[in-house]
Structure 1
Amino acid sequence: MGQTPDNAGEEQAAGARSARLMTWPDLLERPRPAPSATIRYGEDPLQVVDLWLPEGAGPHPVVLMVHGGCWQTGIADRTIMNWIADDLRKRGIAVWNIDYRGVDRPGGGYPGTFQDVAAAADALRAHAAEYRLDAGRVVATGHSAGGHLALWLAGRPRLPRGSPLRTASPLPIAEVVSLGGLPDLEEAAREPGSGCGTEVIARISGGRFAETSVPRLAPLGLPQVLINGMQDRIIPTAYAEGYARPMRAAGDDVRVRMLDQTGHVELVAPETAAWAAAVEELRRALGR
């Protein structure tokens, strides 16, 4: 299915070295690294950002990171990304790892989840000088439902007039790297096997796909890379090219990297071939 990346053979060979797919305990039961600082952008306990700050004077290149969990706080919060955030910090890249109210929390769903994500992103610019962050070229990445939200952040300038999700001056996103993302909410709403279920899609979208489903905002006008596992049992593999086709038709630069011997967890585990591919894309996008 979909396009074959130029380095598909190398990626598949690297993935083949791991015969067993990772499960969540493989990641979550290891020691969890801690961020450099936690910053509030609102009064709710979930309206916070973890900053992972590298050593040195800066200004530091920045990756804006968005966790997944089917847009449900009860499934995941920002700390599920701690290991890859720490890996980027060690590589000299700052990480702005945002949290938000999921559809299962008061104020979450449409429009609150989107308003949280937007406010968390815009707070980066407000704190850039204090923490020596280079806000001039921010690359976004997100895992699973966070892949959708990262792409949506990049599309905010194209939100329709009158939408409660519009803001006056959204943080510019230079590029997006989606990790097992679920970017097309309309497609997911038609597919009960999406991994999150159609009921959750209805709650996060509010039925207002023109504001919440990324292909409706096309073209985003920036490069997008979708990294997906061929053995991902949460997000159907067809979603990547299903998203890429209309975005390319609208004029966007979208690449898909399908990795063999890769499920959903490998995408956010720092020792995997999948994360190595993500680091390669993030460093390229940041000019590193």
Structure 2
Amino acid sequence: MELSRRAALALAGAGVAWAATGCSWPGGDDDAATEEEGTGDVIAYGDDDELQRGALSRPEGGGPHPVVVLVHGGFWRPIYDRTLMDPLVASVTAQGWAAWNVDYRPSGPGGGWPTTFTDVGRAVDHLAVLADDHDLDLDRVAVVGHSAGGTLALWTALRSGLPADAPGAGPEVVPDGVVSLAGVVNLAAGSFEGLGDGAVDDLMGGNAGSEAGDRYGLASPIERLPLGRPTLLVHGVDDVVVPPTQSVAYRDRAVEAGDEVTLELVPDGDHFVVIDPESSAWAAVVAWLTERWA
């Protein structure tokens, strides 16, 4: 049934929380890769932490393959990991695209601003290292993030416009499109609203009115408009975890700033319908990418 499938998606990350249990990832140096059932080749994109890993899954046939970078949500909490996005991998590869499903350091010791953000930036940049050996097309890279991952997905597109001395500035790989699935695209509003029981403040090291306020100007997608990259926002109208007003307000301001933005509001959609591969919400993502990469 639809409801049970979404419930399973919601709970997936809590059941396989590698970082929270202290388990080691298989593999060794940056070039090491191991095969994990259902996830593809697990590859390190950094050597600062065991969470600097991603799972690369490639389609059948020759390339070069477009790449969909998947960035999981979970309010940047340590109990969640990339397994939340595993259900989307098969759909991505079925289109003839590669899936790069990444982990990153969450809020808490060793994470938060700027590390959580720069980890995802490094994961995207690492595609330049992987491209030749894995037949990847760096001109067709989309970053797709759910919930907290939506923040990080859009942030990868704004890196080109950051001040030269800002964390994450000077990207090696710039996505040609970004997708936010029920994303927290306005961090200051998320802080004010107390989303995720204070998750934004934990991520940023304070609220937007505190000494941490300047960080919001570098991290929050809505504060860095225009992004200069085509953007798709997908949000369930009945989402009570991240309100759809986040996406609606972002769309309005981004279009006013000159960005190409598409907003898909999902009738009767909750927070998890957007990562259900059998939903109309995910079908809208596939259609948008297909049109771009035709």
TM range (shorter): 0.7 to 0.9
Counterpart in the other structure of 1:249? 256
Counterpart in the other structure of 1:263? 270
**Deviations along 1:171-201, whole A, 9 cap, x unmatched?**
1111112111111101111112x3x23x321
- Inter-partner Cα distance in structure 1 for 2:149 and 2:125: 17
Q: Which runs of 5+ in 2 are unaligned?
A: 13-35, 206-211
Which among 44, 53, 67 is matched to residue 48 of structure 1? Answer: 53
- Inter-partner Cα distance in structure 1 for 2:168 and 2:277: 33
- Inter-partner Cα distance in structure 1 for 2:125 and 2:7: 31
Counterpart in the other structure of 1:80? 84
* Aligned 1:130-141 pairs, distance under 5 A: 130-141=133-144
- Inter-partner Cα distance in structure 1 for 2:6 and 2:39: 24
- Inter-partner Cα distance in structure 2 for 1:224 and 1:26: 24
Counterpart in the other structure of 1:124? 127
1:136 is displaced (CA, Å) by: 1.4
Counterpart in the other structure of 2:97? 93
SS at match of 1:282: helix
* Conserved? CA contact 2:71–2:145, under 8 Å: yes
Which letter does structure 2 place at the counterpart of 1:103? S
Q: Which runs of 5+ in 1 are unaligned?
A: 1-16
Which letter does structure 2 place at the counterpart of 1:171? V
1:146 is displaced (CA, Å) by: 0.6
- Inter-partner Cα distance in structure 2 for 1:138 and 1:164: 21
SS at match of 1:149: helix
Change (3 A) 1:286 1:204: farther
Which among 75, 84, 92 is matched to residue 70 of structure 1? Answer: 75
**Deviations along 1:87-106, whole A, 9 cap, x unmatched?**
111221111111100003x3
* Conserved? CA contact 1:138–1:174, under 8 Å: yes
1:205 is displaced (CA, Å) by: 2.5
1:147 is displaced (CA, Å) by: 0.8
Matched, 1:177 2:179: yes
* Conserved? CA contact 2:66–2:140, under 8 Å: yes
SS at match of 2:69: strand
1:113 is displaced (CA, Å) by: 0.6
Counterpart in the other structure of 2:113? 110
Counterpart in the other structure of 2:203? 204
CA-based RMSD of the aligned residues comes to 2.1
Which letter does structure 2 place at the counterpart of 1:146? G
Counterpart in the other structure of 1:220? 227
**Deviations along 1:125-159, whole A, 9 cap, x unmatched?**
11011100111121111111111110000000111
- Inter-partner Cα distance in structure 1 for 2:257 and 2:10: 38
**Deviations along 1:42-62, whole A, 9 cap, x unmatched?**
231210011011011211111
* Conserved? CA contact 1:42–1:48, under 8 Å: yes
- Inter-partner Cα distance in structure 1 for 2:204 and 2:176: 25
Q: Which moved more, 1:114-123 or 1:241-250?
A: 241-250
Which letter does structure 2 place at the counterpart of 1:98? V
Counterpart in the other structure of 2:39? 35
Larger RCO (CA within 8 A; separation ≥ 6): 1
- Normalising by structure 1, we get a TM-score of 0.85
Percentage of matched positions with identical amino acids: 37
Change (3 A) 1:135 1:200: same
Change (3 A) 1:138 1:26: closer
